[in-house]
Structure 1
């Protein structure tokens, strides 16, 4: 009987669909020689370097320290012996580096030995990082990653850095960046600290500084200290092009409204997805007039956006779009997060939203997806809330556009 072999191209396709299942990939690597390399690409596609949390010394903490040291040392040796494994790493997460002054330097040395061997990382995430507390050799290894193939950078947790000039200099090295997710924080930032083009160029000795507007961003998410970013993006020497944005997410509570309006004037025409959280009615401009091609709008913050406040915000956003000609707005999906602080008693005001969205200007809306969250300190959201809200949104319910869900925290 003739043996029939599966083509390697088909094996690669199958294994690519298993990248989220590391246990299965480990088993696949044992099937045969043709399966090894493709399985290893999935196994090493994402690595996480996570320092133990700063807690009192106990057995659990000691075990986590030992695990980190053993794992990081193993990765360093493995990548040194088999460079092709290091080239498989596309996503890297770092947790809690610089968080505590008590972190020994050997932890950083082990991490640097891994980072220095990575060449194809396109997704880099910083979680709970204090940049200026890191030793120079580790900052140097991380900075080098920005000059390579990064497509996405996420500063989460938040990321703390002393000056915006340092952050701008770091980001300016990422010539291939498409997605920036920035929850960054500093007590010392000053808008006047943002470097001009010549300043940035002088800070990047030995590298080719990107030309102004030469890095087209596709997705931008900003949280915490937002104003410096907005100001920087408007400077002539900024290397990032924002009129190419397709997704923009902004927490407005930390933002000066005029600065955000200026950004929308530049970036709004190409936007397909807009996420606005922690809004204030008093600060709202007619934002949607700048987004004629918007497909998805996400409103609210599940901890702060109560139903009554959101009604006023939606009216302020949508009513300026009404016109005598009935010209349609492009929106296809409206996503809303509601935070319930107490058992709702009166939902009558939501009828106004139902009436507003019946207008021909909003006929293109296909889905209104409402997610109801509860505060951590109160009882779960009563199931009857869905019925109360649905009753006030009769048109949306009858048209099949309405989806209402109670979400677990």
Structure 2
């Protein structure tokens, strides 16, 4: 079989997280081993369960322990690990990280890491021999993306992250109550390297403190952001100073929102460079979404050229979906500055229906019904409608 075809098949299985089949493929022949291992080990999660010590006595971090043992025997697998997620299962303690001997050894082997995610970890709770390999990992030249989820001592992490020379994306999740005063860092720490230049900043359930823009500028260069992501209402009001700053820099082109903000709280006229606007995970039901509210919000952003609305729909079949709730959006055809309007639709059918593929007759019929309520948008060629999935709720259980 052609190597390109092997790669295509394995990438397809990897996209659907079919680890069982990938494992079987790794045992088929030598030609499949390397590509299968790349997919199997590309994304690693290290966590601990309070019940695992019953099965593995004396081992506090069994996943770290087993992976480190594997890499000792097959060191080439370390270069396949591109994403690492470290989770602390407790609140206010990082005990398994401190007590598992293999943890620092494992981190020192990850020389090709691209993405690092830290969950519920307090920097001051880590012993020095645990901080050192994490510090080295954060300063790795290959690291391009970091996510901090419910991590306290935020500015302490930020000062360390600033040393990542090629960091391009930073995600903060549920950091609202964890912003502490800026750390009193030695002068030599602040001058070790120039701040990393971010391309993407993502905020989830995070209220920015008043000093965010001034404090963060000491560690990260956010004046060249091209993408900003807000996925909850809590962030909108506190982000106003950030919008004003990005409006002055003139680099921000793409904004991704999880809901429709109030124009008074979120004035996008401050960002004349904005061109692409996306609404992600909008749940649509009859009367659930005010299209008038959406149109009012969009009317205040005449610089936006590309609008994308990702819709989640929960519906019973065969009653069908009430697409007409969106009909008012056909008025957007009168806005000459718009170049593209895209609907990405994810349908969750009732439990009575067997899951259907996006290209099934039922799904295609619903897609045609959606397009039919936008005759003017369809007529001028700027409308795009994609059915990204059509699944039963049971498929996620």
3-state SS in 2 of match to 1:153: strand
Contact 2:243 2:270 in 1 (8 A): no
Counterpart of 1:243 (choices 205, 224, 229) is 224
User: Alignment length, in residue pairs?
Assistant: 363
What is the match of residue 3 of structure 1? none
Partner of 1:377: none
Displacement of 1:118: 1.6
Which residue in the other structure is 2:333 paired with?
A: 358
**Contact (CA 8 Å) 1:292, 1:330: kept in 2 or not?**
no
Give the whole-Å Cα distance in 2 for the aligned partners of 1:95 and 1:183: 14
Residue aligned with 1:48, SS = strand
Q: Which residue of 1 aligns with 2:187?
A: 202
Q: TM-score, normalised by structure 1?
A: 0.68
Residues 324-363 of structure 1: matches in 2 within 5 Å? 329-336=304-311, 353-355=329-331, 357-361=332-336, 363=338
The 3 A distance-change label for structure 1 pair 43 and 107 is farther
Structure-2 change in CA distance of 1:350 and 1:32 (3 Å): closer
- Contact 1:295 / 1:331 at 8 angstroms: preserved in 2? yes
Partner of 2:104: 112
> Structure 1: 5+ residue runs without aligned partners?
1-5, 323-327, 341-345, 375-385
State the partner residue of 1:152. Answer: 145
Structure 2 unmatched ranges of 5 or more: 316-321, 350-365
1:281 aligned counterpart, secondary structure: coil
Q: Equivalents in 2 of 1:204, 1:136: separation in Å?
A: 17
- How far apart, CA to CA, are the structure 1 residues paired with 2:259 and 2:204? 11
Q: What TM-score, normalized by structure 2, do the two folds share?
A: 0.70
CA RMSD of aligned residues (A): 4.7
In structure 2, what is the equivalent of residue 82 of structure 1? Answer: 74
| 1:72-131 deviation digits (Å, cap 9, x = unpaired) | 323222323433222322111122355375955775333333222221111112234444
Shift of 1:243: 2.0
Residue correspondence of structure 1 range 219-368 to structure 2 within 5 A: 219-228=200-209, 231-232=212-213, 237-254=218-235, 255-266=237-248, 269-272=251-254, 274-278=255-259, 280-281=261-262, 283-287=264-268, 290=271, 292=273, 294-298=275-279, 302=283, 310-311=290-291, 313-321=293-301, 329-336=304-311, 353-355=329-331, 357-361=332-336, 363-368=338-343
Change (3 A) 1:277 1:332: closer
2: CA distance, partners of 1:203 / 1:337? 50
SS class of match (1:124): strand
Partner of 2:363: none
- The alpha-carbon distance between structure 1 residues 271 and 244, as it changes in their structure 2 partners (threshold 3 A), is same
1:252-275, CA deviations, whole angstroms, 9 ceiling, x for partnerless residues? 423425314214414664423x22
CA distance in 1: counterparts of 2:39 and 2:345, whole angstroms: 36
The within-5 A match list for 1:114-193 is 114-148=106-140, 149-156=142-149, 159-161=150-152, 163-185=153-175, 187=177, 189-190=179-180, 193=181
